[in-house]
Amino acid sequence: MLAVKVPKREAERTRRKLIELGVLAKGYAVKREGDFVLFPVIGEVEGFELVEAEFERLERKPHSYREVVEVPEGVKPLLPSSFDIIGDIAIIELPAELMEYGEAIGGAILKVHRHIKAVFAKGSRVSGEYRVRGLVHLAGERRTETLHRENGIRLALDVARVYFSPRLATERMRIFKKAQPGEIVFDMFAGVGPYSILLAKKVRRVFAVDLNPWAVRYLEENLRLNKTGNVVPILGDVRKVAGKVEADRVIMNLPKFADRFLREAMLSVRDGGVVHYYGFGPEEDLFSEHEAKIKAAARELGFKVEFLGERKVRPYAPRQFNIAIDFRVLK
């Protein structure tokens, strides 16, 4: 094929120029010949010595496990285009038709994503008070403990024993940006501490509660890992703690049941303080039901609420979204 031949010392400048002109042929290895370098090109280029040469094809690295996985053609359209990565563990949601090919799918993920060491399929929906899900091992190490990095913090956790979603990283950063130095924060459903530890970098103190002993165990480990000294971890039911703290900001990250804890949140926030409420809502009317519950809880306590903002956080199920509502409580 056609090639541009230049002395070695001009190689880098030439490479950049050929890319800029859009004539460098892709997928071939550049060739060295004595003191010269040969670049494959897709057409004639003025101002350079042109020669004919043969080039070795570069092997293109697959971008997706779907390019290398060995499953029958008929089920290929069902292969998910994405999966969650928590630390070095991948968690994929497979339709029932693909479960019998789980090992091949897991193996393909390990092959393409070298930093992933274990692959699991979601075995059940997130359920129960602890909000954990069943997992089915597909490939790699039979290990569910990992170290996840997010928003500049490190989180040790066991994906089989605690709730954790990497998809909330942006939402947590949004709350971090709203928080103010000097604030007291009440993280009512803290898990392993992704909100608490991030916010602790900015605010005065965080009270972090969780019912799941494993979550609090990892939360304590994560406080050490991140050298966080201003988070108070509390193991237990948040109902027992509510009303004993007076927070400037309350985080209610329990979308499935947050509405049941509105009274506790409102009793724990100071006059004029802010609550970040999470829920699930149908696409056609995301917020109304939650707004009504928030207003009712305030009315029962003789408080008022001022809605500050509402958002979709992420898709949750078909036509269902995880939503967030920020409101101020006026006492």
Ligand X SMILES: C[S@@+](CC[C@H](N)C(=O)[O-])C[C@H]1O[C@@H](n2cnc3c(N)ncnc32)[C@H](O)[C@@H]1O
For β-strands 89-92 and 84-86, DSSP reports them as antiparallel
Q: Measured from the CB atom, is 236 or 272 closer to ligand X?
A: 236
195 contacts ligand X (rule: CB under 6 A) = yes
Q: Measured from the CB atom, is 93 or 271 closer to ligand X?
A: 93
- 86 close to 157: Cβ distance less than 8 angstroms: yes
Min separation Cβ 26 and ligand X, Å:
42
Tokens 């699991």 sit on residue: 120
Candidate segments 78-86, 185-193, 282-290, 310-318, binder of ligand X by CB under 6 A? 185-193
199 contacts ligand X (rule: CB under 6 A) = no
- 200 close to 128: Cβ distance less than 8 angstroms: no
Site for ligand X in 3-62 (CB under 6 A): none
212 contacts ligand X (rule: CB under 6 A) = yes
Site for ligand X in 80-119 (CB under 6 A): none
Candidate segments 27-35, 208-216, 222-230, 300-308, binder of ligand X by CB under 6 A? 208-216
130 contacts ligand X (rule: CB under 6 A) = yes
Query: b or e along 268-295 (b: 16 or more beta carbons within 10 Å of the residue's beta carbon)?
Result: bbeeebbbbbbbbbeeeebbeebbebbb
User: Which one of residues 39, 105, 110, 131 is an interface residue with ligand X (CB under 6 A)?
Assistant: 131
Candidate segments 22-30, 145-153, 187-195, 282-290, binder of ligand X by CB under 6 A? 187-195
User: Which one of residues 210, 248, 259, 326 is an interface residue with ligand X (CB under 6 A)?
Assistant: 210
User: Which one of residues 120, 189, 316, 321 is an interface residue with ligand X (CB under 6 A)?
Assistant: 189
- 138 close to 99: Cβ distance less than 8 angstroms: no
Site pattern 235..254 for ligand X (x: CB under 6 A): --xx--------------xx
Residues in the interface with ligand X (CB under 6 A) total 20
Candidate segments 59-67, 173-181, 211-219, 310-318, binder of ligand X by CB under 6 A? 211-219
Site pattern 254..273 for ligand X (x: CB under 6 A): x-------------------
215 contacts ligand X (rule: CB under 6 A) = yes
164 contacts ligand X (rule: CB under 6 A) = yes
190 contacts ligand X (rule: CB under 6 A) = yes
User: Which one of residues 194, 233, 279, 281 is an interface residue with ligand X (CB under 6 A)?
Assistant: 194
Footprint of ligand X (CB under 6 A)? 129-131, 163-164, 168, 189-191, 194-195, 209-212, 215, 237-238, 253-254
